[in-house]
Structure 1
Amino acid sequence: MWPWGHAAFGYLLYSFGSRLFGRTPQGYPVIVLLLGTQLPDLVDKTLSWVFELFPQGYSVAHSVFVAVPLGMLVVAGAVWRRRTEYGLAFLLGYWSHIVGDLLFGLFSGNPYTFARVLWPVVTLPPYSTDLSGLARVQAYIISFLNFFADEGLAAVLVLLAVYFGPVVLAVVVWLFDGAPGITAIRRFLTPSN
């Protein structure tokens, strides 16, 4: 799943969950949520693609053996600091990333779907190509774009709907929610007098 897919999936869950409990999404927790949705890939892809410590981009941060205790620890720390909404936002973002990868793997027929989240019990085999860092990102983007050139219109439309439909929906819901996070970012970026 691409980064924007993780962000969209996490935000939709967060927005609907907030509304389920009679609340609206708030700025700073939304930022924490978005960081949580990206954390597993930021950690594992860096450890694999840049530092070459793991044969695949699914290891420590994607592992349920790390994600569950780390998520609970963050929530406990947030409750202790009286910032429960931040801890829950992080937890939802982080765990939605892992669930999103599992769902995407199931739908795409990946034989290693569940193995991806079982490190260190299971270590995935190395990539079939020996690329690292930006070369791997470039290869994924080229492969994604080649799909558009190689497949028929129906397949392209399905792919666009699958990849970008949730993102468009998330943006619409985010705007409906009042674009939470924008004010917080402006405050952070504006120098105080």
Structure 2
Amino acid sequence: MWPWEHAALGYLTYSLSRRARGQAPPAELPTVALLFGTQLPDLIDKPLSWGLGIFTTGSALGHSLLFAVPLGLLIGVAAVRTDRRALGAGFVVGYWSHLVGDVVNPLRYGDPIAVDRVLWPFVAQEPYDQDLGLGRGLVYFGELFESLLSIDSVTLVVAYLLLTLATVALWFADGAPGVGLPGQLGERLRTRLERGRS
């Protein structure tokens, strides 16, 4: 899945789960934590694989249940102890939804689910056949662009745009949480600076 698809799946999961429990839409900071969580597995594994060559594939430590489950539990316990449950839930839902997305993503190509993607180091991933370094991301993006040009419009909408567009609509319906955070942080900083001067 692409970064925006991981973000969309995470937000959709988090917002709908809050609605199902009768809670308010996601708040600013938990939404940012969710967004960070949806990207973290790739932020761990891709540089360690593509840039540093530590892993032979882009799905290793960050995508492993052996790492993700304890991390999620640790964040959950810390969130409960510090009374920041929504913040912790946002991050954990984001992180774990990334893994779920990678496991079920092959279905859109007619392939079976790929549970082995989250079983590192117990199940080794097929290593890359050539080292492209950090340029691998550009190669993948080029391949995506070529494939989008060659598919029919219905498949394009259903396979690539429906999830993202539905999530953007839900995000707007929720009040676009996360957008106001920079302004809130700036206001807090300004208030503290004014207090320090007086």
TM-score by length of 1: 0.91
Q: CA deviation at 1:112?
A: 8.3
Residue of structure 2 equivalent to 1:174? 171
**Structure 1 residue aligned with 2:196:** none
Runs of 4+ in 1 over 3 A off after TM superposition: 109-112
Q: Deviation of residue 38 (structure 1)? A: 0.5
**Structure 1 pair 161/110, CA: closer, same or farther in 2 (3 Å)?**
closer
Q: For residues 102-181 of structure 1, what are the structure 2 equivalents within 5 Å?
A: 102-109=103-110, 113-133=114-134, 135-149=135-149, 151-152=150-151, 154=152, 156-181=153-178
Identity of aligned residues (%): 41
Q: Say which SS state the counterpart of residue 182 (structure 1) adopts.
A: coil
Conservation of the 8 A alpha-carbon contact between 1:112 and 1:124: no
Contact kept, 8 Å, 1:58 with 1:116, in 2: the verdict is yes
Give the drift of 1:65: 1.0
**Any unmatched runs of 5+ in structure 1?**
none
* TM superposition score normalised by structure 2: 0.88
> Does the 8 Å CA contact 1:55/1:126 hold for their aligned counterparts?
yes
Q: Does 1:2 align with 2:2?
A: yes
Alignment of 1:1-193 (within 5 A): 1-23=1-23, 24-109=25-110, 113-133=114-134, 135-149=135-149, 151-152=150-151, 154=152, 156-189=153-186, 192=190, 193=193
For residues 79-136 of structure 1, give each alpha carbon's deviation from its aligned partner in whole angstroms, at most 9, with x where no partner exists: 1111111111111101000001111024335578222111111221211232110x10
Cα deviations by residue, 1:133-175 (Å, 9 ceiling, x for unpaired): 0x101111111111134x25x2x54134322211111111011
Change (3 A) 1:105 1:35: same
SS in 1 for 2:126: coil
Larger-gyration structure (1/2): 2
Aligned residues: 189
- Cα deviation for residue 182 of structure 1 reads 1.4
Cα distance between partner residues in 1 of 2:100 and 2:113: 14
SS at match of 1:68: helix
| Unmatched 5+ stretches in structure 2 | 194-198
Q: Distance in 2 between matches of 1:67 and 1:79?
A: 18
Q: RMSD value over aligned CA atoms?
A: 1.8
The answer as to whether partners of 1:30 and 1:89 remain within 8 angstroms in 2 is yes
Counterpart residue identity of residue 79, structure 1: V
